[in-house]
């Protein structure tokens, strides 16, 4: 598998922008995923990057640099409901199974 | 609603027992993945089935087994349960391009 590293916790203010970084080992790379997970609920898909560059989807954007083994998730115009865990995952396992990081717990404050 | 259905939602059982978790993938999806999420470990891939065949194995214990049936639903069997097996168990299916995985609502297993 691949080691996925991301910060454990982050705090940001409502209306602000936050960037959540993720690094991964590059061997056998097959795509980088971001998921949002509220406590006790299922992860929900946010983004998928397989090529270098920035993918924008509304308030959320995701960036990938394959040569650096690096990705980030950018959340703009933060809302209270964005308080959740954000999971970075690589699709490097056989059969496209996802290898997840431990998640970044984001707290959005008023 | 992701379209992936898992039952039961909650399960409480004693150590040493055996339980079966059930998952139905989204209509048309052939792959089923099982993941375990505990507080200290994050989401861990257990096993994958594709159209009835085992495709990939992750960190699955020998006490655990799974299968996928002709109608594509899958069951995860957990036996000789230990306290440490208490976790959320998620099932997921993927689109044909494998660019998105859809997760069920999970089964929360508590071993007492």
Question: SS3 string of B34-97?
Answer: EEEEECCCEEEEEEEEECCEEEEECCCCCCEEEEECCCCCEEEEECCCCHHHCEEEEEEEECCC
When the pLDDT of each residue in chain B is averaged and rounded to a whole number, the result is 94
Task: Work out the percent of chain A whose per-residue pLDDT is above 70.
Answer: 94
Report pLDDT for A107.
Answer: 98
Q: Cβ(B13)–Cβ(B109) under 8 Å?
A: yes
User: For chains A and B, what is the number of CB pairs under 8 angstroms?
Assistant: 64
pLDDT band at B33 (very low <50, low <70, confident <90, very high): very high
Secondary structure class of A55 (helix, strand, coil): strand
Report pLDDT for A93.
Answer: 60
Segment (H or E) for B103: strand B101-103
Q: Which of A22, A97, A100, A103 to mutate to test the interface with B (most CBs of B within 10 A)?
A: A97
Report pLDDT for B66.
Answer: 97
Mean pLDDT within B24-32 = 93
Chain B positions in Cβ-Cβ contact with residue A5 (cut-off 8 Å): none
Mean pLDDT within A43-53 = 93
Chain A positions in Cβ-Cβ contact with residue B2 (cut-off 8 Å): 42, 44
Question: For residue range A84-104, what is the model confidence (pLDDT) as tens digits?
Answer: 999 999 876 666 778 899 999
Task: Work out the percent of chain B whose per-residue pLDDT is above 70.
Answer: 100
Report pLDDT for A92.
Answer: 63
Q: Specify the higher pLDDT residue, B48 or B100.
A: B48
- In this predicted structure, the answer to whether residue B23 has a pLDDT above a threshold of 50 is yes
Q: Does A1 touch chain B (CB under 8 A)?
A: yes
Q: Are B58 and A102 a contacting pair at CB < 8 A?
A: no
- In this predicted structure, the answer to whether residue A82 has a pLDDT above a threshold of 90 is yes
């Amino acid at each position: 598998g691949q080691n996925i590293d991301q910060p454990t916790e982050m705090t940001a203010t409502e209306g602000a922008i936050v960037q959540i970084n993720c690094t991964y080992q590059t061997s056998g790379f097959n795509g980088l995923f971001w998921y949002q997970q509220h406590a006790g609920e299922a992860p929900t898909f946010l983004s998928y990057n397989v090529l270098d560059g920035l993918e924008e989807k509304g308030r959320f954007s995701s960036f990938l640099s394959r040569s650096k083994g690096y990705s980030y998730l950018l959340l703009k115009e933060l809302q209270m409901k964005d308080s959740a865990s954000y999971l970075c995952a690589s699709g490097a396992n056989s059969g496209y199974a996802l290898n997840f990081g431990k998640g970044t717990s984001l707290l959005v404050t008023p | 609603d992701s379209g992936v259905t898992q039952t039961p939602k909650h399960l409480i059982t004693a150590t040493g027992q055996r339980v079966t978790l059930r998952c139905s993938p989204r209509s048309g999806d052939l792959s089923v993945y099982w993941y375990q999420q505990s507080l200290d470990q994050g989401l861990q891939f257990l096993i994958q089935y594709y159209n009835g065949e085992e495709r990939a194995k992750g960190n699955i214990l020998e006490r655990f087994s799974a299968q996928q049936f002709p109608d594509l639903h899958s069951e995860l069997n957990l036996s000789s349960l230990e306290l440490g097996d208490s976790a959320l168990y998620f099932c997921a299916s993927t689109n044909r391009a494998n660019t998105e995985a859809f997760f069920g609502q999970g089964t929360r297993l508590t071993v007492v």
